[in-house]
Amino acid sequence: MALGGGSQAASWAGPGGAVLRVRGVVDVPVDDLVPVGDGTRRSVAEDLRYVYGEGQPTDWLETGPGRDYPTMIRAARSALAERGLLDDVRLVVLVVTTPDLQHERLLGGFVADLFDDRPYTFCVTEQGLAGPFTALRLAHEELAHGGPQGVGLGGDALVLVLEQCTLPPTATRVPARDRVVALVVGHDGAGRPVEALSVARAPRGPRPDQAAPPRDGAPSTAPAVAPGPDARRVVLGVDVDPGEAPDLGGVVLHADPGAAATGVWEVLAACDAVPDAPVVLHERCLELGYRCSLVLGPRSVAATSPDVDDLTREAVLA
């Protein structure tokens, strides 16, 4: 799956040839959210023992923070509404990397009822770290060509990348804490243009035994001179080999190894502080065998000039 410019531009541009733009990225605070009650935890424990036997350990239900996705989605909605990013959302795509702690509420119906105008709702699962990249392509296709008439939904799409850490012990990587990153994309208005997007198959491989040192989105090396506001940011996922990532020129940033699918997107949210800088994301999913990338241009704003018959021109934000 590829989404890119050049000769492919006509296949992924929106109505009128407009490119998909990332209009806003928000790393939603969730640490202060109220956890689920004891009743929900008991219900989950009972169901697990019913399916897997009485010997199934459930003590992890008591040790984790215990936040569920409906609570986290409400927090995301509030954070986005405060920033004025929900005015024209017609599609919500959920990206779920880890199971929801609660199991009594269907997220699709919950989301459609929670957001104004009951937007179309999809969910991307079972794609590991590739899920958010697939969700962006799905958002583009639905906004440009979806809907009942096949002429496109128009407006904006909201992509919510969700992960929670109240989980049983497992050999696969699980997040160190609960996280939500929200992306609002559309073909109109201000935002970072999507210049290329790809999700490709790659060899699967074992995860390294040694734990990676904490990175928390910090530059891999401290530059001798502070980077300029237009210096490109290159964001690498935890399992991306820098030797395999093309064009590492610029400021290289690393995702937090304590994240699951949200790592590179948290760093992208921080990059909104440097709107003039292009951003490149590289991600690698060892368990499922995916290699993903996303290339975004500098953030720009559409300005209308009365002297050009209301044609839209692009002006880079200062």
28 and 175 together in one domain: yes
Instruction: Name the burial class of residue 181, with classes exposed (0-12), middle (13-18) and buried (19+) by CB atoms within 10 angstroms of its CB.
Output: buried
pTM of the model: 0.86
Does the residue 50 lie in any domain? no
pLDDT at 76: 98
What is the C-alpha to C-alpha distance for residues 168 and 97, in angstroms, rounded to an integer?
14
Q: What digits encode the pLDDT tens for the residues 232-252? A: 999 999 999 988 888 788 899
Does the residue 42 lie in any domain? no
180 and 279 together in one domain: no
176 and 32 together in one domain: yes
Enumerate residues 6+ apart whose C-beta is below 8 A from 189: 21, 23, 301, 302
Does the residue 268 lie in any domain? yes
203 and 279 together in one domain: yes
Considering the chain, what is the average pLDDT of its residues?
A: 84
Does the residue 179 lie in any domain? yes
171 and 281 together in one domain: no
Residue 182 has pLDDT above 90, yes or no: yes
Cα distances (Å, whole numbers) of residue 120 to 71, 125, 242: 20, 17, 38
Q: Taking the C-alpha atoms of 77, 79, 80 and 84 in order, what is their torsion angle to the nearest 10 degrees?
A: 130
30 and 140 together in one domain: yes
> What percent of the chain lies above the pLDDT cut of 90?
61
Does the residue 101 lie in any domain? yes
Residue 209 has pLDDT above 70, yes or no: no
Q: What digits encode the pLDDT tens for the residues 16-63? A: 677 999 999 999 999 999 999 898 999 999 999 999 999 989 999 998
What is the C-alpha to C-alpha distance for residues 246 and 269, in angstroms, rounded to an integer?
22
> What percent of the chain lies above the pLDDT cut of 70?
83
90 and 32 together in one domain: yes
Q: Using 50, 70 and 90 to split pLDDT, how confident is the model at 136?
A: very high
Q: The CATH number of the domain where 134 resides is what?
A: 3.40.47.10
Other Cβ atoms less than 10 A from the Cβ of 78: the count is 11
26 and 99 together in one domain: yes
Helix, strand or coil for residue 39?
helix
Does the residue 253 lie in any domain? yes
Enumerate residues 6+ apart whose C-beta is below 8 A from 311: 304, 305
Which amino acid is it at 189?
G
268 and 120 together in one domain: no
What is the C-alpha to C-alpha distance for residues 232 and 248, in angstroms, rounded to an integer?
9
**Residue from 118, 106, 86, 253 nearest 183 by CA:** 86
201 and 157 together in one domain: no
pLDDT at 65: 94
Percentages (nearest 5) of helix, strand, coil residues in the chain = 25, 25, 45
168 and 237 together in one domain: no
Between these two residues, 267 and 16, which has the higher pLDDT value?
A: 267
Enumerate residues 6+ apart whose C-beta is below 8 A from 173: 207, 260, 287
Does the residue 310 lie in any domain? no
Domain region containing 246:
195-211+227-296
Cα distances (Å, whole numbers) of residue 138 to 95, 142, 251, 284: 11, 6, 29, 20
Domain count, the chain: 2
232 and 124 together in one domain: no
Does the residue 241 lie in any domain? yes
Q: Taking the C-alpha atoms of 66, 69, 73 and 74 in order, what is their torsion angle to the nearest 10 degrees?
A: -60
Highest mean pLDDT range out of 14-18, 214-218, 248-252, 287-291?
287-291
User: In this structure, what token pair is assigned to residue 305?
Assistant: 């000039």
Enumerate residues 6+ apart whose C-beta is below 8 A from 73: 107, 110, 111, 114, 160, 162, 180
Q: Which residues pair with 197 in a beta bridge?
A: 3, 294
In the chain, at which residue ranges do the beta strands (DSSP E only) sit? 2-4, 21-28, 89-96, 120-124, 156-163, 179-186, 192-201, 233-236, 251-254, 279-285, 290-296, 300-304, 312-316
